[in-house]
Chain A
Amino acid sequence: MENIGLIAFLIPASPLLAFFIILLFTRHSKLASDIVAMVAILFTWVLAGILLYLALTTPHLGEEPLTAGLVWLPLGDAVTDSLRMGVLVDPLGAVMLFFVPLTATMIFIYSTGYMASGSYWTEVTGEGDHDAVDTAGRKLKKFDATAWKARFMAFIALFAGAMLILSLADNLLLLFVGWEIMGLCSYLLIGFWHNRVYANQPKRITPMLAGIKAFMTTRVGDMPMLVGIAWLYSFTGTLNFREILYNPEVLEGLNVLAFPNVPALAGVTVAGAIGILLFMGAIGKSAQFPLHTWLPDAMEGPTPVSAMIHAATMVSAGVYMIIRMFPLMSAGWDGHALTLPMQVMASVGAFTALFAATIAVAQCDVKKVLAYSTISQLGYMVAAVGIGAYVAAAFHLMTHAIFKALLFMGSGSIIHAVEHGEEHAHHHGHHFPIDFDAQDMFNMGGLWKRIPVTAWTFLIGGLALSGFPFVTAGFWSKDEILADAFAHNPTVFWVLAAAAFLTAFYTMRQIGLTFAGEPRTHAAEEATQTDWRMNLPLVVLAFFAVFAGYVGVHEGFPVLGKLLGGNFFHHFVGSTLLKEPEALAFSWAPVLLSIGIALSGLLIGWLVYVRRPLQAEDEDPLKKVLGPIYTLLENKYYFDELYDLIFVRPSKWVSEQIVYLLLDKQIIDGFLHFVARFFEWLAFRNKDFDTYVVNGLGDSVAEGIGKTSDSFKYVQSGRIQQYMAIAIAGVLMLVGVFVWALFLR
């Protein structure tokens, strides 16, 4: 396996190279950039395929993973203390290696189609022409983003590279590198249309602010994570996954009390503390409560590709990390009492799953629904890790990535179609308001016949999300989590079950509002199927959304279990751990319950939204049922407003008023100025002294001399002969004196 290092290093290198090539050379040409990016990602895909093949054909991959590395930072005694960087392909990594390049490639293909054209409103200030004025008095101008789009490919190439770095990293620091670069990419991509404004929607968050929000919110989690990494590194002397996680001695060593002197934190072990710090990073990255608010706003990114990145890939990184660090999180776990990090994960995950699902129910933006469903599904996985369902979490991570990617691309396809429809309608003379929102599901309806490919694939994705039994991948993975929860932690199970019901319901609501019935606007009426570059990924992903689940069917599952070869996924991924987790015995109860929940949710949704499709200007039927709760849900429990009130404004106020103006300007500078004034005062007193006493004395002397010399100044006639006469006369006198003294006396 000499080439493993090279291959593994080349996998992320190729998109990263594409990033630089596009930015430096081809950024003026959309076509060239597309080609560069496509070549890069296909190259990566091929390499990843080779590597995946190598990994799958390696026996006992768990014990002897494919690795390669080099000294990155020579520290202290170069041999023992240096920090090494390298790649690692173990079973868990192989899973990532499967779906990350796959979805990434699909995204690339899709983006080339999606980003082909587009324009939007931007605000202009100052004097000059403008195309429209909205109700808030802002001058608007149509901004043609075509020229801007080439770099989009660069950003997603960077993104893909970072995600691949993260997937292949053999240590936490390298993972963190990929992690943060993805943070940057999310910021850039969400804010891609940074100058876009929404006419007549002043309260709606703009892409620019959404990007900053995403970056900052995840950074809140990243900072503790960095501390956690530092702590782990200083405690173990290494960051290598294998050396920490595959090493019982190290794990044992980590299982000591962290703060023996602090009563409040008395019971926290080092592993627990580090685990929680790391999990904080995951909270930010995977948008768990309470740092979930950035993800829905991230939907302001170019529809829907960046959103898909955030939903399907990047957010997976958080979950991937906690799955990866599971041995650390569970250090000291005996199979029964959950460790502190696990408890936290289980509760946060479960709560998030339900909490996000409730919000999703009341959203009307096609992408926001999906965003909240993503949060909810990530909560599933986090909770799964929390209760120790390691394999199930990894399984759901994979399937969810696939079908959520499918759904987002589908929604993007829908939006694209509606936007085109709007433009068509515009050409046909229908007047459209400047604030037409192509993402609002209430502006759609009846798209089934107009965009059939999208509709079918979207339906497949939706069903997978809801866990439609047997034929969708989502069913299998979700079922495994639920089964685990059922076996270990009933509370978590029931919370997740409730979330699953809501998931099924809002999925059906979305499908109904979008595709069913008759078009509610001209735009929807004129919508047409988009081109092949956007359809191909849908089809491919739909295929995987159906069949990807069959790798992890429980051995004990009737018929299918035996047919599909005995839970390959479980054994494969399970071998990543030091001690392969035991597969649960097959149990009917959770399976039936989950089937029932999913189907009932779908049914209710069908009854409300598909059987009697909404007409134009109709209100959401839920509004009547839920009343004020609907408003609460629609406003996401007012979390944005809350955070704004307790974090954003105070920090601004503190930094401006307290730190800068009060501390720096008034106290410190004030003190300095006081000192300066004091010395100035002193100096002026000194000057007075000088002026009146010293100078007075000196001046009077000088004046006296001046007056005296005034009378002598006429001597200075400028006549050389006069001078000489006087001088010689003087000399003569002297000579006379001498003569008298020497001769006459």
Chain B
Amino acid sequence: MVITPVTIAFFIMAAFTLGGSLGVVTNRNLFHAALYLILALFGAAGLFVLLEAPFLAAVQVLIYVGAISVLIAITIMVTRRIMGVESANRQWPLSALVGLLLAATLGFVIMDRFAGKFPVAGVPDDSLTRLGMALVSYEGMEAYLVPFEVASVLLLAAMIGAIVVARK
């Protein structure tokens, strides 16, 4: 195994991700948990960058950090009266077991099937343009117009729904 800046970056990002995730699920202070979430998500964005998907990384930061995390933070602030109670419920051992089992299973499968694979080819230069085209084209190999529109409608519905639910 060769240590390169990329590998270092990967480890840092992986540490961010997993550490952040651990913080999210264990931290008693919910606000801190949210901060850990941001950390984890940053880590994920970093992984995206390492995977040569900068667009997704930017979107990740924009949506998760810029929007969802802010929302979560605000929600936590609005409902802060329950701060400081126990973080986990009574079934946490079971949950932990389930999580571990899951991790084990997944790890087993991954190691069994995907261990040691490397990229087959480089990322094409025009991938971003193609991605944009794919989202608005309705024929060809990469035609995502319909899902795209559905997703738009979903967002609209979610927006209206959120407004309707949360107002009063």
Direct contact of A and B (CB under 8 A): yes
Residues of A within 8 A of B (CB): 721-722, 725, 728-729, 732, 735-736, 739, 743
A743 to B91, CA, bound (A): 31
B105 touches A735 (CB 8 A): yes
- From 77 to 112 in chain B, residues with beta carbon under 8 angstroms from any chain A beta carbon are 89, 91, 94-95, 98, 101-102, 105, 108-109, 112
B108 touches A739 (CB 8 A): yes
CB contacts (< 8 Å) of A732 on chain B: these are 98, 101-102, 105
Residues of B within 8 A of A (CB): 89, 91, 94-95, 98, 101-102, 105, 108-109, 112
A138 to B11, CA, bound (A): 120
B109 touches A725 (CB 8 A): no
Which of A721, A722, A729, A739 is the one whose CB lies under 8 Å from B109? A739
A721 touches B98 (CB 8 A): no
Prevailing SS type, chain A contact patch: helix
12 contacts between A and B (CB under 8 A): A721-B91, A725-B94, A728-B98, A728-B102, A729-B94, A729-B98, A732-B101, A736-B105, A739-B105, A739-B109, A743-B108, A743-B109
Q: Report A552 CB to chain B, min CB distance, Å.
A: 105
Q: Chain A: which residue is nearest B112 at the CB level?
A: A743
CB contacts (< 8 Å) of B89 on chain A: these are 721
Q: Report A17 CB to chain B, min CB distance, Å.
A: 72
B91 touches A722 (CB 8 A): yes
CB contacts (< 8 Å) of A736 on chain B: these are 105
A736 to B112, CA, bound (A): 14
B95 touches A725 (CB 8 A): yes
CB contacts (< 8 Å) of A722 on chain B: these are 91
A725 touches B101 (CB 8 A): no
Q: Chain A: which residue is nearest B99 at the CB level?
A: A728
Q: Report B108 CB to chain A, min CB distance, Å.
A: 7
Q: Report A314 CB to chain B, min CB distance, Å.
A: 84
CB contacts (< 8 Å) of A735 on chain B: these are 105
CB contacts (< 8 Å) of B109 on chain A: these are 739, 743
Across the A-B interface, give the 7 residue pairs with the lowest CB-CB distance, nearest first.
Answer: A743-B112, A732-B101, A728-B98, A735-B105, A729-B98, A725-B94, A725-B91
CB contacts (< 8 Å) of B94 on chain A: these are 725, 729
A479 to B80, CA, bound (A): 129
A739 to B109, CA, bound (A): 7
CB contacts (< 8 Å) of B91 on chain A: these are 721-722, 725
CB contacts (< 8 Å) of A725 on chain B: these are 91, 94-95, 98
A736 to B109, CA, bound (A): 10
CB contacts (< 8 Å) of A729 on chain B: these are 94, 98
A488 to B115, CA, bound (A): 144
Q: Chain B: which residue is nearest A732 at the CB level?
A: B101
Q: Report A554 CB to chain B, min CB distance, Å.
A: 112
A739 to B89, CA, bound (A): 30
CB contacts (< 8 Å) of B98 on chain A: these are 725, 728-729, 732
A588 to B21, CA, bound (A): 148
Q: Report A741 CB to chain B, min CB distance, Å.
A: 12
6 more A-B contacts (CB under 8 A) besides A732-B105, A735-B105, A739-B105?
A725-B95, A729-B94, A732-B98, A732-B102, A736-B105, A739-B109
